[in-house]
Structure 1
């Protein structure tokens, strides 16, 4: 399973987290989304997750990805 961490600007509340989670969970291959509003981070886990689809989902929710980092999860 892979893990991708995105730095996202513009998040300020639980509604922001819920909107991002809802949109990103619809992207193919995504199995889990964790949103840390105070840190401005969105962690996406899954198999064969399409980075462009996740970025588009975050944009669809009304937020902007400013940076991303990929890591492997056992």
Structure 2
């Protein structure tokens, strides 16, 4: 069962930020696509199955940003 979730992220301000987050989150097992949007402050993650939010949070933290929640 595939899953797509959009998270809100604080600290993103440019294309470099988007790339850093995309690279870290793409490394998680099962992730099929990542779309970071600095302007909107969101990261949309598609995966083969629902991901553990703590794993996504850890990947975003590793990139130097903070997952602040799920977008509405």
Q: TM-score, normalized by length of structure 2?
A: 0.89
Counterpart secondary structure, 1:39: coil
Who is 1:33 aligned against?
34
Who is 2:53 aligned against?
51
CA distance in 2, matches of 1:32, 1:13: 19
Paired residues for 1:1-74 under 5 Å: 1-48=2-49, 49-69=51-71
**Shift in Å, 1:69:** 5.0
Contact persistence 1:28–1:50 (CA under 8 A)? no
CA RMSD of aligned residues (A): 1.4
Unaligned runs of 5+ in 2: none
Contact persistence 2:42–2:71 (CA under 8 A)? no
Q: TM-score, normalized by length of structure 1?
A: 0.87
How many residues align structurally?
Answer: 70
4+ residue segments displaced more than 4 Å: none
CA distance in 2, matches of 1:17, 1:27: 16
Higher strand share: 1
**Shift in Å, 1:47:** 1.7
